[in-house]
Structure 1
Amino acid sequence: MSRWSLARQFFLAQLVFIVVLSASLSVILYLDAARGVNDAAAERMVAVSTSIALEPAVLDAVRGPDPSASLQPYAVEVMDRLGVDFITIMATDRTRFTHRNPEEIGRPYIGSVAEALTGTTHSETYAGTLGPSIRAIVPVVDDTGTVQAMVASGITVDRAAIARNAQLPLVAVIALGALALGALASFLLSRRLRDATLGMGPAELSRTFVFYDSVLHSVREGLLLTDAAGRLVLYNDQAARLLGLDGSQEPVPASHLAVPPSLRELLSSGRRALDEVHVTESRVLVVNQEPAVPPTPPGRTAPAPGALGTVTTLRDHTEIEALTGQVETMRTLTDALRSQTHEHANRLHTIVSLVELGRDAEAVDFATRDLQQSQRLTDEVVQAVDEPFIAALLVGKAAQANERGIELTSDIAPDAQAGSLHPVDLVTVIGNLLDNAFDEAARSEEPRVRLTVRRAMDGDGAQVLEIVVEDSGNGLPDSEKARIFDFGYSTKPACEAEGGTPAGRGIGLALVRQAVRRFAGSIAVTDTDDGGARFTVRLPVAPVAGRVGA
């Protein structure tokens, strides 16, 4: 029995309970019917005895010289007419005047007479000459209230049992009806329980719960269960940390979560998701989601019901994306250095060609002007920026812009120092903004990009490092300004991949936003006067005590 399913054990237990209940109900109904029959018989005998005792002829007869002569025929007639087993009219000393068996006339009455002698009606079940009987004894009194005789009438218990047994079919119908309805209800409940427990037994359910609970709280990924109404009904500690929940395990509507709208929509919709990337205020989450569809219970061929909700896993890729950002930063620096190397190689080839042509003076003049221009750009950047990573980035980007035919102008204020800001994150912000601006400006007739870095004051009077990158591209519609920083979203038409997202695109600006958020800064996109796009980044910095690297 221990291997039986919980539903089967429940059904058998309920069936035993219903059988016991039906048997108990039958006994109670039978005893109640018997009591009712006995009470009704006693009341009937009281009525019969009272009617005879109130008859004036009975009082006259008991006062006469031979009471039995007139009372016996009268009693027999009443017994036959009313179906009473005996009617005994007796003297106060118990001497019978009448009896069903004439031979008992003159003999003493067997039964209780004390109550009748005091003028009180009394009923009882007593074993007399005819066997156990239900009887009533009523006094016969004269006008002064004196007891002159007594009347006892009764029916045997066997005859009362006939009336009682007549109630047995009704008792049986009620008991069988209760048994049938109880068994049917137990069967339906057991089927519902079997569907709910998937046909598993108590041991299997207990083991499954223990294992699932252990898995839920031991996995490092966030795991949460959402019901059909879009409420989070169960989640582990990692999911609570990633979604900012308090861990109370109270059902929480997905629409109330403090997460980006795209993630709220995914959790509320219940749709399937495979490795979708969603960026929160401080994290990059990879989300997988599947509907929770219960399997068909054993022995059932009907299709399983619809989805009960969804199972969602959350993987924290924040550290991986941070590494990706560093790789992107190194790639930006590499591209900048490659462009600078390519540009210097072209200039060196020009100088060598002039020397080979015997135009030494022109070669010296070209080399001198190139050296002065490169040194001037380097001096301007180095004097304005005290961080070698950023200085190298800007020098390389200037070469990259020149290689692509883009006019890059820089306006870096002398006090625009990084301060407490991490240089790698600044390279991520400036490098990706410039890359995005180069791509947009390259599609315009007069490609221009302007970089401005300066100190400013925010609305609270605190100092911020303001980085502004403007391009001469076609700008951004308002509908795209809200999505331009989403991970994987891009407006570039080249290299379209499956799903309409450009392959390898949609990463740079998402990394910029992540870096800005780490600094507790802000980023905004507006339009320039000539129709291009302007990206403005404000990063909180400590006040500068003195200019560094001047």
Structure 2
Amino acid sequence: MRRLVPRTLAGQAVAWLLLLVAVIIVAGSVLAAIDARVDGDRAARDEVTAVAVSLADAPSTADALMSTTPALTLQPVTEQVRKATDIAFITIMGPDGTRYTHTNPALIGQQYLGSTAEALRGEVFTETYTGTLGPSIRTVAPVRAPDGRIVGLVAAGITQQSLTVGWRAQLPLIIAIAFAALVTAGLGLWLIRRRLLRQTGGLAPAELRLMYEHHDAVLHAVREGLVVMENGQPALVNDEARRLVGAEADGVVALPPFLTTGVDPLVDMLYAEGGRTLMVSRSPVSGERTSAVVTIRDHTELSEAMGELDSMTRFAEALRSQAHESANRLHTIVALIEMGRGDEAALMATTELQLSQRLIDRMTDDVAEPALAALLLGKSAQAAERGISLTLTEESQLGDDATQLLTAGEMITVVGNLIDNALDACEQADPWVEVTVVGDARRLEVVVADSGPGMDPAEFARAQTRGYSTKAGGDAAGRGLGLALVAQVVARHSGTLHAENTYASVVRVVMSADDGVDSDVADGGGGDGGR
């Protein structure tokens, strides 16, 4: 029995459909045969009624019945009508039931077998009765004289056997139609089976169910966002992708444009979206021009850590540079002492020490956060090494309670990336950068200005949302996350990021403890923020 049961889903589906079609065709054929028999009986009743009533209403029939030899007159007429209408018998009788006509002349003069009471009351009635010719459908009609008296009866009938022969003659046609329908359905279902086999890969229902369960379990368990795109719309989005980029509204996942645009291959592209740094790869589905599989990985913490590490690395490089410069000055001071010029050596040493100490005092007095002060000192040394004037404006004043708005690490991310962008963007003919940091527990404002040309609003907006850079290499080099990281911190704390071209290229970040809802990240011209 197992060999007779199809294994594949396509085979089982077609087998059930074929069985259903066969049942429908057989049931339809049986109903057609029954309908043919019912129609035959109805037609027979109508025919014998018409013959009986026609003969009963004929004046010649009443005249013959009132004559002395009704049988000699009526028998030839009834036989002629019977043969013309192809019915079984026509019997004309007197009111007492004596036959004057019959198909079998030997039965003329004998008593009619059947009901006559209704006809004697003047009614035309039809019944099924077993007479001398067997079971038959017969109609009996009264014959009236001109004065209205019933002078006889006319009975016309068709045997059940002849009716059976009639409707059975239609069975071959019904069977042929049923067979043709079954063959046509079988051919159509065979074509459907071929298509289903291609679409299901010839798998059995249990295999498909197991594959779906494993597929669903993998999609929910994998810690990488997966999105299957079909014609620019998400056909499948797993839990991790919903967490990273999905914003559901009425059960519909709204994906950012960089996921829904195009199906061209992408490999490890960095995007900033919703306060996160995402690494996105996209692979087109083989053989499909409108489908693609997108993988998404969360690189937010790694990007922030890399930004902080980059800042610390540059700070360490600045310290090594200062150490190198200090060693040169120390050698010069030692040489001056050996030459007996101690006063000049002392003056040089104290002057460098005073300048360095004043810078440190200034930074620590204006910026209470030690990590940020150290970053500013390092950036100052780095700028000096590149021949750029970097200054902390006199308006700068950062209290130690400003960490209630931003952590020390977030401050380093914001200030460090903005300064790096400004150092890279300032004009070579007149390179300068100004930094203003003002903040307390209620409000924090960071303003970085440089002598560079700035960016137009569209370019500034692109630099915030993906790994965009005005430098050579751009995305391919894995750069362009500076302003994107700043925008993430700003979005996370519902702050504002604004850029403008006024006295210089200015980028302004404002954080406020009073912001209860997300603020818009304003567009505008600014430094090469995407570097």
TM normalised by structure 2 equals 0.86
2:304 to 310, 322, 335: 322
CA distance in 1, matches of 2:60, 2:363: 145
Q: Which residue of structure 1 aligns with residue 233 of structure 2?
A: 231
Q: Are 1:8 and 2:11 matched, yes or no?
A: yes
Q: 8 Å contact 2:272–2:464 — kept in the other structure?
A: no
Residue identity opposite 1:449 in structure 2: V
1:427 to 398, 402, 412: 412
The 3 A distance-change label for structure 1 pair 431 and 79 is: closer
Secondary structure in structure 2 of the residue aligned to 1:451: strand
Q: Which residue of structure 1 aligns with residue 115 of structure 2?
A: 112
Moved over 6 A (4+): none
Aligned residues with identical type, % of pairs: 42
Secondary structure in structure 2 of the residue aligned to 1:476: coil
Deviates more, 1:470-479 or 1:276-285: 470-479
Q: Are 1:452 and 2:433 matched, yes or no?
A: no
Q: 8 Å contact 1:225–1:310 — kept in the other structure?
A: yes
Deviation at 1:26, TM superposition (A): 1.5
Q: Are 1:516 and 2:519 matched, yes or no?
A: no
CA distance in 1, matches of 2:396, 2:455: 32
Q: Which residue of structure 2 aligns with residue 278 of structure 1?
A: 271
The 3 A distance-change label for structure 1 pair 98 and 486 is: closer
The 3 A distance-change label for structure 1 pair 352 and 406 is: farther
Q: Are 1:264 and 2:264 matched, yes or no?
A: no
Q: 8 Å contact 2:282–2:295 — kept in the other structure?
A: yes
Deviation at 1:207, TM superposition (A): 1.6
Q: 8 Å contact 2:272–2:467 — kept in the other structure?
A: no
Q: Which residue of structure 2 aligns with residue 492 of structure 1?
A: 471
Deviates more, 1:4-13 or 1:238-247: 238-247
Residue identity opposite 1:430 in structure 2: V
Deviation at 1:477, TM superposition (A): 4.4
Q: Are 1:390 and 2:372 matched, yes or no?
A: yes
Residue identity opposite 2:233 in structure 1: R
Output aligned runs, 1:522-537, within 5 Å: 522-529=496-503, 532-537=504-509
Residue identity opposite 1:286 in structure 2: M
2:79 to 53, 62, 76: 76
2:104 to 86, 101, 105: 101
Show structure 2 runs of 5+ residues with no match: 515-531
CA distance in 2, matches of 1:502, 1:154: 101
Q: 8 Å contact 1:336–1:393 — kept in the other structure?
A: no
Q: Which residue of structure 1 aligns with residue 398 of structure 2?
A: 416
CA distance in 1, matches of 2:387, 2:58: 140
Deviation at 1:48, TM superposition (A): 1.6
Output aligned runs, 1:336-485, within 5 Å: 336-413=318-395, 415-419=397-401, 420=403, 421-441=406-426, 444-455=428-439, 463-485=442-464
Deviates more, 1:14-23 or 1:116-125: 116-125
Q: Are 1:287 and 2:294 matched, yes or no?
A: no
User: Could you give the per-residue CA deviations for residues 342-362 of structure 1, whole angstroms, max 9, x where no partner exists?
Assistant: 222232232234334443332
CA distance in 1, matches of 2:81, 2:95: 22
User: Could you give the per-residue CA deviations for residues 125-155 of structure 1, whole angstroms, max 9, x where no partner exists?
Assistant: 3332223333222121223433222112223
User: Could you give the per-residue CA deviations for residues 384-425 of structure 1, whole angstroms, max 9, x where no partner exists?
Assistant: 222222222223333222222222222244742242232222
CA distance in 1, matches of 2:328, 2:313: 22
Secondary structure in structure 2 of the residue aligned to 1:24: helix
CA distance in 1, matches of 2:74, 2:248: 97
Q: Which residue of structure 2 aligns with residue 40 of structure 1?
A: 43
The 3 A distance-change label for structure 1 pair 379 and 360 is: same
Residue identity opposite 1:516 in structure 2: V
Q: Which residue of structure 1 aligns with residue 136 of structure 2?
A: 133
Residue identity opposite 1:381 in structure 2: M
Q: 8 Å contact 1:231–1:251 — kept in the other structure?
A: no
The 3 A distance-change label for structure 1 pair 161 and 332 is: same
Deviation at 1:478, TM superposition (A): 4.5
The 3 A distance-change label for structure 1 pair 76 and 517 is: closer
Q: 8 Å contact 1:231–1:268 — kept in the other structure?
A: no
Residue identity opposite 1:423 in structure 2: A
CA distance in 1, matches of 2:493, 2:79: 118
**Aligned pair count?**
508
Q: 8 Å contact 1:412–1:454 — kept in the other structure?
A: no
The 3 A distance-change label for structure 1 pair 20 and 480 is: closer
Deviation at 1:377, TM superposition (A): 1.5
Secondary structure in structure 1 of the residue aligned to 2:123: coil
Secondary structure in structure 2 of the residue aligned to 1:84: coil
CA distance in 1, matches of 2:22, 2:312: 81
Secondary structure in structure 1 of the residue aligned to 2:477: coil
The 3 A distance-change label for structure 1 pair 533 and 349 is: farther
Deviation at 1:37, TM superposition (A): 1.9
Q: 8 Å contact 1:486–1:506 — kept in the other structure?
A: no
Q: 8 Å contact 1:470–1:528 — kept in the other structure?
A: no
Secondary structure in structure 1 of the residue aligned to 2:110: coil
CA distance in 2, matches of 1:276, 1:376: 45
Deviation at 1:279, TM superposition (A): 0.9
Deviation at 1:123, TM superposition (A): 2.2
The 3 A distance-change label for structure 1 pair 407 and 245 is: closer
User: Could you give the per-residue CA deviations for residues 207-236 of structure 1, whole angstroms, max 9, x where no partner exists?
Assistant: 2222222222222323333332x3334433
Q: 8 Å contact 1:240–1:247 — kept in the other structure?
A: no
Q: 8 Å contact 1:232–1:251 — kept in the other structure?
A: no
Q: Are 1:242 and 2:216 matched, yes or no?
A: no
